[in-house]
Structure 1
Amino acid sequence: MSKTFEDYLSEHQADMISIALEYIDNRADEVFAYAASEKGTSSFNAFYKINGQIVRKEEINSAVKPGDAKYDDSTERRSAMLDIGLDNIDAIEERCLEFGVETPTEMRLHYDVRSGKFRAELRYDHVFSDAPDLLPGNIFDAWFSNELKEGSGLDPA
């Protein structure tokens, strides 16, 4: 039985979550991964819920409980995680061309480690490329800020 486009998409989304989990040694309550690609600009990023705190990838050690081991949040490790996320975006774009389907411009992935529940929100419209003062990082920052306020996973919209 041959794989469908959805099979490949799911594999790459799972790999994005997997690499984000590996970055924090599988020690998180929840993982949030953001992938965007429009008009030649791609972006990947992640943030986490650790010990009840929502933290950016560079702030993970601020959520470590006293006595627990610190994370290796070195620049090299962080860059490797982001590069693998970008590689997955490229692979998704290639599969979209191969299968003749529209390429998602944005993916917001949320994985609840304890329950194993995974949700993905995909968009296909231009999210940032038509706005001269908007970058993928701005959208990621807004999602992070919203999660800090709401704590509800993916945006309902």
Structure 2
Amino acid sequence: MVSICLEYVFERSNKIYIYCSYEEGLVSNDFFYNINGKIVERHKLNDALVTEEGNANFSYDISVNRQKAVVKIINENIKEMINLCKKHDREMPTQIKLVYDVQANKLAADYQYELVHTNDSNQTANLIARKWFEKIKNDN
């Protein structure tokens, strides 16, 4: 998951945030970045570019096709985790929040095993991911 998210930004990111959800058979994910100290969604990467000589001629490819490809790969990774958990008779997390610090090459993970959104009619995986993005953005 980290690898494909890092490839998506051409390895030009300070941190990568990956949200994974698996509840009641539904697989979902989201990802966003810290670039140049700005927390940005995957479709707004170019908003974080610093206008300096080193970045003047660079822009991220944020095409819908590239975004869909990353989402698909992360969903496939989640399904592989589900199969591994079944194979080894382990409980699959309902929610995973990953933070990868690119410079330090350090990964932090937060796992939840209780239902997060399916037992609340006002919640969805996308809404939970959005709240996490807003929290990280506000804390930054």
Work out the percentage of aligned pairs sharing the same amino acid.
32
- Listed one character per residue, the Cα deviations across residues 1-51 of structure 1 (whole Å, up to 9, x for unaligned) are xxxxxxxxxxxxxxx111111111110000000000000111111000001
| TM-score, with length taken from structure 2 | 0.95
Instruction: Please state whether the residue corresponding to 1:32 is helix, strand or coil.
Output: strand
Give the structure 1 partner of residue 85 of structure 2.
96
SS in structure 2 of the partner of residue 137 of structure 1: helix
Q: Give 1 or 2: higher helix fraction.
A: 1
Unaligned ranges ≥5, structure 2: none
Structure 1 residue runs without a partner (length 5+)? 1-15, 152-157
> 1:133 deviation in Å?
2.0
2:70 pairs with one of 47, 72, 81 = 81
Distance in 1 (alpha carbons) for counterparts of 2:43 and 2:110: 24
Q: Say yes or no: does 1:108 pair with 2:97.
A: yes
Paired residues in the alignment total: 136
Q: Which residue of 1 aligns with 2:32?
A: 47
TM-score (ref. length: structure 1): 0.85
Q: Aligned Cα RMSD in Å?
A: 0.8
The alignment status of 1:23 with 2:8, answered yes or no, reads yes
Q: Distance in 1 between matches of 2:57 and 2:36?
A: 11
**Structure 1 residue ranges, 4+ long, deviating more than 6 angstroms after superposition:** none
Q: Distance in 2 between matches of 1:39 and 1:122?
A: 17
